[in-house]
Chain A
Amino acid sequence: MTELLGYAIPGIPFGCVFALMAIGLVLTYTTSGVFNLAFGAQAFVSGLAFVSLISDGWPRWAAALLAIVVLGPAVGLALDRLLFRRVRTASPIVKLVPSLGLLIALPQLALIIAGSVPTIAPPALFLDAQRVYAHVLGVPVSGLELSIMVATAAVVALLLVLARATPLGLQMRAVVESPRLVELSGINAGRVGATAWVISSCFAGLAGVLLAPLYSQIDPQNYTVLLVWGIAAAVIARFESIPLALGGGLALGIGQQVLAGYLPPGVIASGLRPSLPFIVLLVFLPFGRRNRIEDPLAGCDPPPSTMVEDARRYRPASALAVGADVGTRAVGLWHRALGAGPSESLAARAVRRPTTVVAWTLAALAVLSALTWVPADWLLTMTQGLAFGTVFVSLTLLTGMSGQISLCQASFAGLGGFVAGQLATQMGWPVLVAGVAGGALAALLGVIVALPTLRLAGLPLALATLAFALLADNVLFPVSWLGDGASGVRLPRPSIGPVRFAAARPFFILALVLLVVSAGVVKRIGDGTTGRYLFAMRGSETAASSVGIDVRKLRIGVFAISAGIAGVGGALYGSLQGSLVPEDFNYEISLVLLVVAAIVGLGSIGGAVVAGLVYTTLQRAVATLPTRYAGLVAVLFGLATLSYTRHPEGIVDFLAGRFSELWARLLGALRTPGYGRDAPAPEPEAEPAHGVARP
């Protein structure tokens, strides 16, 4: 008993911090429809500010006040105004990408501003961290633990009083039920949402400050881990119950410490503990929001689209039919009312022709340059860009075309690379064959990820894949016969008979060929029958299966093909670099990949290729700066989400659209001399006959 308590009590402070995080997530999600992953970053910013201020000699109370009550809400409110307010009614991916971008960017920005990480051991919020203040059944309770528990209990109590006993609380709960009914009764739902945003940012800030002294030094990594546990607790709370979020957080905090205490040390123990969130997510995600499908005003026009989105995206098993029946139609109308949505991309598609010519010309010039005058170091960057382009192409298929948000694409790539490396170095397989085998095993992994997540879509699917990426990082890649932990895996450059790809330019050609083949596969699939099936599946899974589409196999197949291509890309990258370590493809890379893909353009193959080049070029450019600015790439990606919320179609498709607009105007001006720009634009180049090209 004492032994169990001895493990459990140190778990409570962790549980408190997880719970604070989860409550913040639930609060903003229910009131504004955005699942703000950036809370992890906001917590880090507050934690860093707290420790930095103290190491600058501030008194503890002042540092805490500034970090939690000023900085936390200020950052939160700014993000709400600049980004999240605009995406509240958007599709799951448009909601997710800004928060992912910020999750990556904010900590790096804070580190650049702070200049250096304070080296002092972070103090507790109050009390003396090391001193033992009490004994519970013989287990000592330190000031650190006591301060965290007291602070958490206090703010949660405060929140519950606020929610139950004030007009604001009533309004907040009403907004959760139906934003539109609230608006109709004359209350500004947006303002209520902003208030909830401020409160939950305080929670994130407090979590950040409280978490700091649990580790010897402040480190962004710990905060992402905190976020993941917070997500797991929010999922236990079904994204909606604050008491359950509290209970879930505590249970997870205690559970992980108890597990760590009883399990024998080794890979299983150190792997099993970080996998706990993944298991929790898979078990609890399918039960999300079962009872919140029917909005009182469902069927009226226009519907509150967050609700309709929920009905479309969350498909609890028993309510499958109802979920499908809730106006998919209405969503389309609502999108149109907003002036956004699918019809836009159709129009964009119709006028893209002239840009094709330009795109191919640029591509040909780039290839020619690479093969002739580009210096070796830039050639390496370009080749890296092609390898990552292959990985981006796999995202275009999975996320762009079939609408499944994957936050584990780097894990697929990593698996491909590691398998190829092991086969080539340990078993002596030819590198090319090993690379193909790596791709095949990655495809198998794709199937393994797809199977338990078949019922998930939108945000829950994204979270499940994120959890899977963490699982791969902690369990799969450290083992010696795969990623081999820190030492990594060697992967030489291939050769076919007498043709060797060791030199830079031959390898460039090899990478180009592999990229073209992958892109060709994806394009053919996307333009063909599969593409139409995928689009139908996105529109309505119920209707798709009612016309005879095997939605499960389709999803599994797309996951497999996408993961396989990513795996080949990973092997290609590994072979280019000569070796791979797990950090090359950890979960953070997965997040970055999705953010970059979305910003640059998930909708087209061209977007994927450009994304690969942009990704590696930016990294190379920043590598020349002083180390303080190492995080600048991440900051840039974060800033780019500002443009993303305006142009969710991505930079490439946006520019292409602009270009063809200009082109059309120019043609118009030429055809009707004297009227110039007032002349109506000529008809855009026609689509292929019969309109059966995939949207």
Chain B
Amino acid sequence: MSLLSARGISKSFGGIDALRQLDLDVAAGEAVGIAGPNGAGKTTLFNCLLGLTEPDAGSVELDGRRIDRLPTWRRSRLGIGRTFQRLALFDGMTVAEHLLVAEQARRGGIPFLRDLVERSEPRVEELERVDATMALLGLTELADRPVEGLSLGHARLVELGRAMMGEPRLLMLDEPSSGLDAAETTRLGVILSELRHRSGTAVVLVEHDLQLVEAVVERLYVLDFGQLLAVGAVRDVLDDERVRRAYLGGGQ
């Protein structure tokens, strides 16, 4: 049974059909890629899956349970982490604080009660998990730096780290390599593979960098104008004539 299964997702903004009757399946532990030209609806799909945008039609199931009526925070706590194509970091907070907030929030609890009744400091195990994630991502030295000063590459890693906290079962990454140089992109691929190897997290990767896609992903969806153009094993899809025409510009 698939971990995430979306059926018939449609969304239009005014006159623009951003998504038309889209289906998406992700098995537990699987890595799925989504490609497509700019404006194809990839980010909108993420927003619909997480409830940040209300789709016009369609259903979303996680582990066979309908989640499309749940608010975003509930879906997140059920085990979905995501990053943002246009960075959405918390200005003024340090790298470590970003991860800590995500760790505490995704595991739930009432913050007021915790602060007043229990205590206001983070627990040791929380700090340990933050440290472990920072070590995995190579962010340890930047732990106490406010995020505003980070390079784009490091900022993307902070987004990734924040999405990884609380051990989500599904990671949705929205163009994590955009703005990174070749070396950073390669490292990102290594990190993602290691992450999947270690914790078996399923990944949905929206990505333009086909090398990164090939390195990480098993199955690839290609969208164009909100519609599914092709889906299948990465190589097959990339060799597909229609995909080459729509996506790669004229199928050279």
Interface residues of A (CB under 8 A from B): 318, 320-321, 324-329, 331-333, 335-336, 341-343, 345-346, 521, 524-525, 527-533, 535-536, 538-540, 542-552, 554, 557, 561, 687, 690-692, 694-695
Contacts and interface: CB of A to CB of B under 8 A. Distances in A.
Contact of B105 (A333, A346, A533): A533
Interface string B191-235: 000000000000000000000000000000000000000000000
A527 B72 CA distance: 26
Nearest to A551: B73
A530 B115 contact: yes
A525 B93 contact: no
Contact of A543 (B84, B104, B165): B84
Contacts of A318: 13, 53-54
B97 interface: yes
B180 interface: no
A55 B89 CA distance: 61
A192 B92 CA distance: 34
A447 to B, nearest CB: 13
B177 interface: no
30 contacts: A318-B54, A321-B44, A321-B52, A321-B53, A325-B88, A326-B86, A328-B86, A332-B147, A341-B148, A343-B148, A346-B146, A524-B115, A528-B114, A529-B104, A529-B111, A530-B111, A531-B120, A533-B111, A535-B92, A535-B97, A536-B93, A545-B52, A545-B73, A547-B165, A548-B76, A549-B105, A552-B71, A691-B94, A692-B97, A692-B130
B116 A532 contact: no
Contact of B121 (A320, A528, A533, A546): A528
A454 to B, nearest CB: 12
A543 B89 contact: yes
Interface of B: 13, 43-44, 47, 50, 52-54, 71-73, 76-77, 81-82, 84-94, 96-97, 100-102, 104-109, 111-112, 114-116, 119-122, 127, 130, 143-144, 146-149, 155, 162-163, 165-166
B181 to A, nearest CB: 18
B111 A695 contact: no
Nearest to B54: A318
Given A321-B53, A328-B88, A543-B90, A691 B96 contact: yes
A172 to B, nearest CB: 28
A550 B71 contact: yes
Contacts of B81: 546-547
Given A321-B53, A525-B112, A690-B127, A539 B73 contact: no
B101 to A, nearest CB: 5
Contacts, number: 193
Given A341-B92, A529-B109, A540-B89, 18 more contacts: A321-B43, A324-B84, A327-B87, A328-B87, A332-B91, A335-B91, A342-B148, A525-B120, A528-B111, A532-B97, A533-B101, A535-B90, A536-B105, A540-B88, A545-B71, A546-B73, A547-B162, A692-B97
A28 B177 CA distance: 42
Contacts of A549: 73, 101, 105
A328 B87 CA distance: 7
Contacts of B119: 528
A535 B50 contact: no
B89 A692 contact: no
Nearest to B50: A546
Nearest to B174: A325
B132 to A, nearest CB: 14
Contact of B143 (A328, A543, A691): A691
A434 B214 CA distance: 68
B101 A536 contact: yes
A535 B89 CA distance: 11
A539 to B, nearest CB: 3
B92 A548 contact: no
Contacts of A694: 97
B146 A342 contact: yes
Contact of B88 (A333, A528, A543): A543
What are the 6 closest A-B residue pairs judged by CB atoms, nearest first? A528-B120, A539-B90, A342-B92, A691-B144, A528-B115, A332-B148
B96 A692 contact: yes
Contacts of A544: 90, 101, 105
B111 to A, nearest CB: 4
A695 B77 contact: no
B86 A327 contact: yes
B51 to A, nearest CB: 8
A325 B85 contact: yes
A454 B146 CA distance: 28
B155 to A, nearest CB: 7
Contacts of B108: 548
A691 to B, nearest CB: 3
B84 A690 contact: no
A326 B85 CA distance: 10
B226 to A, nearest CB: 15
Nearest to A560: B112
A527 B114 CA distance: 12
A9 to B, nearest CB: 41
B177 to A, nearest CB: 16
A345 B105 CA distance: 25
B16 to A, nearest CB: 12
Give the most central of A343, A525, A550: most B CB within 10 Å. Answer: A550
A692 B127 contact: yes
Nearest to A333: B148
Nearest to A540: B88
Nearest to B104: A529
A127 B112 CA distance: 64
Contacts of B52: 320-321, 324, 542, 545-546
Contact of B116 (A521, A531, A542): A521
